[in-house]
Amino acid sequence: MFFNLLLLHSYILVRLHVKRGDHLKGARLLIRVANHISKFPSHIVPILTSTVIECHRAGLRHAAFKYASTLMNPDYRKSIDAKYVKKIEAVVRKPPKNGKGGEPLGDPLEALTPCPYCEYMLPETDIFCSNCKLNIPFCIVTGRHIVKDDLTACPECNFPAIRVEFLDILNKDESSCPMCSEKVDPKKLLKIENTEPYLDIE
């Protein structure tokens, strides 16, 4: 149930971040969803299309090429929205460049943040720690794993979030929680010192 909620909420969060012009956050979340596309059998083409568009906007050219190539499958190609067909075909026609030795150049690496259980540094959108082998609670604002030194929770639904990120959307764009949609007073987003209750998700 944890993972299904994560995927669904990740997809919902994309609109928030794209609206704010943060295409990298949107792209990372879409990659997470696209990597488990079988969970969304009736939405494969629109999800992959959005993934290609946002990855391209965010400069993740290898990821954009990967999912654009998938969309060229005859079963998917005929269902692509007409206004995106040429864009996706253009991505496929121009594969990312390789390095001097012919080695593929990867997309920019994600920032690393510590696992809240064992402090192992891992990519910020990873919600499974390869070191301690535990699932990590996710931030309801960014979809990234939570961090112990900047933890808060929605005062309405009590889901955890990275405090600085929650405050950022409340102070600039939104007035409600991305999870429960209830209005949130930024003054009530307190920093949580005792993180243990929020780490017990098993």
Give the pLDDT confidence of 26-67 residue by residue, as tens digits. 999 999 999 999 999 999 999 999 999 999 999 999 999 999
Whether 105 is in a domain gets the answer no
1: pLDDT strictly greater than 80: no
Residues 10 and 72 in one domain: yes
Check whether residue 21 and residue 89 sit in a common domain.
Answer: yes
**Is 102 part of any domain?**
no
The number of domains in the chain is: 2
Phi, psi of 190 (to 5 degrees): -85, 150
The candidate with the shortest Cα–Cα distance to 124, out of 139, 104, 103, 105, is: 139
> 79 and 131: one domain?
no
153, part of any domain? yes
Percent of the chain whose pLDDT exceeds 90: 86
* 131 has pLDDT over 60: yes
81 and 160 in a common domain: no
- CA pair distance 166, 174, nearest whole angstrom: 10
Domain containing 53 equals: 2-93
* Euclidean distance between CA atoms 15 and 19, whole angstroms: 6
**Domain final residue pick, 33, 58, 93:** 93
Residues 80 and 133 in one domain: no
Asked whether residue 47 is assigned to any structural domain, the reply reads yes
Confidence of residue 2 (pLDDT cuts 50, 70, 90): confident
CA dihedral 8, 18, 50, 153 (to 10 degrees): -10
pLDDT of 144: 97
Sign, Cα dihedral of 146, 167, 28, 10: positive
Task: Identify whether 99 is part of a domain.
Answer: no
